[in-house]
Amino acid sequence: MRLRDELLKRYPNARFNDTDRILAGDELVQFLRGHEKAITGLDRLDERVFSAVPELRLVSKYGVGLDMIDLDAARRHGVSIRWTPGVNRQAVAELTIAFMIALSRQLVPLAAEMRDGQWRQPGGRQISSAVIGIVGCGHVGQEVARLCRAFGATVIAHDIRAYDEFYRAHGVTAVDLRTLLARSDFVSLHVPLDSSTRGMIGGREIASMKPTAYLINTARGGIVDEVALKAALIDGQLAGAAFDVFATEPPADRELLHMPTFLATPHIGGSTEEAVLAMGRAAIAGLDASPESIDLTAEIASPKI
């Protein structure tokens, strides 16, 4: 309600989607018609939508994921897409750390066993002695690196961009993807989903990881081949994995979800109270082209998350 009230103060005639559903197709077109500005979250904006709503001039993005917006179509139709990067980075980074601890100490299966009356004391490992590999060292990846370094971990990173100043300041070593996968005890993904990252972690990449390693995805579904991941977990090629995001949400592969070495959450990375307020306020400010937001239709390089 707080964000709703804040938006109504700026735009008293604002219309809200109160269905608790993601709008698509004709329903989304009908909702947007007659409006020059809109805030969208997971609604898919493509050529059809932009063509059907020519009066739409500006879209402000709630959250950081952009795979549901066709930026080329927006440019063709003269629609400005405003986006504020890194607005939920702390929330996502903290969930990533929670995944690391939960996996390495078997917190979830052990808690379930204790409820059933069992008492088992397996080993585990500390983050402080681990090599953490971060794939994608933008806003979220950098925050994960800071937190891991605070634990005393060795942090290596791979990104298509050069973050040399950050790496020097925080003791992070830049490596190629092959080296990162081979060396890391935890591989944590923090890249956007686009044509260059879709399926970037497949069977071959998973096979190159240590059998004692863990794979974490709090970025976007579709980056990892989930079929290959399940096969690797079944065969013991990986010690475990934790995902907050899936190619299809909610995921339909119940076998994967019930695997004892797999930990899943329902896309909650940016769902903390603090992150929701920050993302909402950034989206509201983006309607007025705030200096913190970026006009993606004017951007040439791929944005970092």
Which sequence positions are flagged as catalytic? 220, 249, 267
Tokens at residue 174, please?
Answer: 């830049």
Our CA dihedral for 21, 23, 26, 28, rounded to 10 degrees, sits at 130
Tokens at residue 270, please?
Answer: 């940016």
Q: Please state the three-class secondary structure of the chain as a single string.
A: CHHHHHHHHHCCCCCCCCCCCCCCHHHHHHHHCCCCEEEECCCCECHHHHHHCCCCCEEEECCCCCCCECHHHHHHCCCEEEECCCCCHHHHHHHHHHHHHHHHCCHHHHHHHHHCCCCCCCCCCCHHHCEEEEECCCHHHHHHHHHHHHHCCEEEEECCCCCHHHHHHHCEEECCHHHHHHHCCEEEECCCCCCCCCCCECHHHHHCCCCCCEEEECCCCCCECHHHHHHHHHHCCCCEEEECCCCCCCCCCHHHHCCCCEEECCCCCCCCHHHHHHHHHHHHHHCCCCCCCEEHHHCCCCCCC
